[in-house]
Chains A and B, each alone.
Chain A
Amino acid sequence: MRMRTIEISVGAFLLAGILALVFLAVRVSGVSLTQSAGAYKLFARFDDIAGLRVRSKVSMAGVTIGRVAAIDVDSEYGEAIVTLEIDKRIDNLSADAGAQIQTEGILGGRYVNITQGADEEVLQDGDTITNTQGALVLENLIGEFVTRMGDS
Chain B
Amino acid sequence: MLRLLRLIGQRTLEWLETLGRAGIVWLWAIFGLPRRGDLALFTKQIFQIGVLSLPIIVLSAFSIGGVLALQGYTQLARIGAEESVGLGVALVLLRELGPVVTGLLFAGRAGSAVTAEIGLMKATDQLSGMEMMGVDPLRRIVAPRLWGGFIAMPTLTLIFNTVAIWAAALAGIDWLGIDPGGFWAGMEDAVELWEDVGKGTIVKSVVFGVIISWISVFQGYDCQPTAEGIGNATTRTVVYSSVAVLAVDFLLTLVMYGEFK
A141 close to B (CB within 8 Å): no
Known: A21-B158, A24-B94, A30-B189. 18 other contacts (CB 8 A): A9-B51, A10-B46, A13-B155, A17-B154, A17-B155, A20-B155, A24-B161, A24-B162, A25-B197, A28-B94, A28-B187, A28-B191, A28-B197, A29-B191, A29-B193, A30-B188, A31-B193, A32-B192
Residues in A with CB closer than 8 Å to B152 are 13
The complex places the Cα of A7 from the Cα of B90 at a distance, in Å, of 32
The minimal Cβ–Cβ distance linking B247 to chain A, given in whole angstroms, is: 26
Q: Is B50 an interface residue (CB 8 A)?
A: yes
| Set of chain A residues within 8 Å of B56, measured between Cβ atoms | none
Beta-carbon contact of B188 and A20 below 8 Å: no
B166 (CB) vs chain A CBs: closest residue: A23
Q: Does B67 contact A (CB under 8 A)?
A: no
Could you tell me which A residues sit within 8 Å of B by CB distance?
3, 6-7, 9-10, 13-14, 16-17, 19-21, 23-25, 27-32, 55, 57, 107
Please give me the residue from chain A that is nearest to B162 by CB atom: A20
- Asked if B81 is at the interface (CB within 8 A of a chain A CB), the reply is yes
Q: Can you list 8 contacts pairing A with B, beta carbon distance less than 8 Å?
A: A10-B47, A19-B162, A20-B161, A25-B193, A27-B184, A28-B165, A30-B189, A55-B192
Q: Give how many A-B residue pairs fall within 8 Å (CB-CB).
A: 75
Which size bracket describes the interface of B in this complex? Answer: 20 to 34
Which residues, 127 to 164 on B, are CB-close (under 8 Å) to A? 151-152, 154-156, 158-159, 161-162
Docked-complex contact A17 and B197, CB < 8 angstroms = no
B40 near A: Cβ within 8 Å?
A: yes
* B54 at the binding interface (Cβ < 8 Å): yes
Residues in A with CB closer than 8 Å to B197 are: 21, 24-25, 28-29
User: Is B79 engaged at the interface, CB distance under 8 Å to the other chain?
Assistant: yes
Known contacts A20-B161, A29-B193, A30-B189: A10-B50 contact under CB 8 Å: yes
- Among residues 29 to 74 in chain B, which have CB atoms less than 8 Å away from a CB atom of chain A? 40, 43-44, 46-47, 50-51, 54
The 8 closest A-B pairs by CB, nearest first: A30-B188, A17-B155, A20-B158, A20-B162, A29-B191, A29-B193, A6-B47, A13-B51
- Cβ of B196 < 8 Å from any Cβ of A? yes
A21 CA to B152 CA, complexed, in Å: 14
Residue from the set A10, A14, A24, A25 with the largest chain B CB neighbour count within 10 Å: A24
Report Cα–Cα, A49/B79, bound state, in Å: 26
Chain A residues, Cβ within 8 Å of B234: none
Q: Which of B51, B81, B158, B188 makes the CB contact (< 8 A) with A29?
A: B188
Instruction: For the complex, give the distance between the alpha carbons of A13 and B58 in Å.
Output: 12
Q: Which residue of B79, B159, B196 is within 8 Å of A107 (Cβ)? A: B79
Q: Would A32 and B193 be within 8 Å (CB), given that A7-B43, A14-B155, A17-B155 are in contact? A: yes
Minimum distance in angstroms from A132 CB to a CB of chain B: 24
Q: Which of B40, B155, B188, B193 has a CB less than 8 Å from the CB of A16? A: B155
In whole angstroms, what is the CA distance A27 to B165 when docked? Answer: 10
Complex alpha-carbon distance, A6 and B40, angstroms: 10
